[in-house]
Chain A
Amino acid sequence: MNLNATLLGELIAFAVFVLFCMKFVWPPLNNAIEARQKKIADGLAASDRAEKDLALAQDKAKDQLKDAKAQAAEIIEQAKKREAKMIDEAVHKANAERDNILAQAKAELEAERNRLREELRKQVAALAVAGAEKILQRSIDEAAHSDILEKLVQEL
């Protein structure tokens, strides 16, 4: 054990080294490490958040798709109903129109027939009168026997 002045020199060197390390070496290194740790932690948190957001967005998209599909189905359904209704209405209308036209035609026909019949009857009466006139010539007083002729005409 030969302690000597070297001890003092080393003590001073030790103190200077520690002070230098404390002022110029440790803080920047430690700060860099801590800053990076924070950065990494933030990055991980952000990626977690992004993952959650993505899941949320996917859920939302799925819901929206489902809604849209339901809506489309409903619209189609409505359209089909409307189509059926329209066809139904058209059929009804057409039927009514046909009936109408038919009824009108029948009525017209009837009227025509009645008119023709009346005309025919008149002509037959005239013919009958003319024939009777020819047969009876003067023996028959037209005026006196007109009631009989009328009756005849009615019977035709």
Chain B
Amino acid sequence: MIQNPFQRKIVIFFLVTLLHASNTNALDFKAYGFIQPESSIYINGDGRHGQDNYNASLFGKGTFVSYLQDGDAKFTISTIGRFDQSDGELRYLDFQKFKYEYYFDDITLKVGNEIVFWGVNETFNIVDIINQSNLAEDIAGTKKLGQPMASISYSQDYGTFDIYLMPYFRVRPFSGKEGRPRLLFEVDKNSITYESSAKKRKMDFALRYSTVIDDLDIGLSHFYGNNRTPVLSPNPLTLKFNSHYPVLSQTGVDIQATKGPWLYKLETVSAKDGSERYLSAAGGIEYTYYGIRKTQSDLGVIVEYAFDDRNDNPFNNEGIVGLRWSMNDVKSSSLLAGYLFDMRGNSNRFQAEFEQRINDNLKLFLDLSFNGSIDGTDFTHQFKEDSQITIKVAKYF
């Protein structure tokens, strides 16, 4: 299941370390996780590539944390996996975290797989770059792959510096032939090129400074390495997409101001992707009404906008208006709904996620993704007939 040799080496290294540690002192650990059957119905009927109008899938996550060296060190495994009825690209196991950390007073050292999130926005996470997105899981790119790295974090009163060295690149997964939604063509895994001659073995580098000044949370970051987003070009011979990963040099700023019930968010990026320079900015406002209609429920209103000076970027003039409704009840019922619209044309889609605890060990999720009118020229036109309703039930252990 662990497909690349680099990861295999890391896994062996950690298992040896762990066994060694467990011999020397009593193992202080916790383990928990969930397993989640999912069922999707596509309301437009069969897909344009002949996909079925129904799909079943099984997702799971397991977390294991062990404290070593009297709590000065920690070993973490957090793994997710999926077995999908239709899409072979959604049968995988990923070590989101597989890391050893050592804590000094001001310094944290870390080696292994890790998920690192940068940014403040709800929808347009343009600064976030460390982890590869799994587009087979989610076309919005919010589901990530664990990134192998060595990192050092240094904290002082004036802020925190993080340095990341990433010796191994992970190729972006896309939906397979049977996947839904999927791109017009399959992405050919045997036809990948890189700008960097070191290809996957390029040593990616990132640096971040973050600080809190009263009600401001500020982050400054720089990334230099293989871009996580490939350029896809159709190959007339194979009728598949070839992918090319340019080298990306990206400087980002993210700021959130928290003023009572108001959150103000801004992310900006100045980058050079291959030979192309671009500027991107995204931000918004979130306001929460507490105790609406004299109940315990809260209603948050989210407005975000994204701008990119590349005309071909799918998010170059895009907005979202969202609502977050939290009942604050014993079942933690909540609803997140968003209306996403492209301000260049007439494309829009509606998404909603409802969740509610059934009992202490079971939780229900209902996801809805509904494509409205979508321009023929819009990037998302290829997903137009993939409106879906998904029911998930998570069983925790």
- A, B co-complexed: no
The interface of chain A, by Cβ under 8 A from chain B, is none
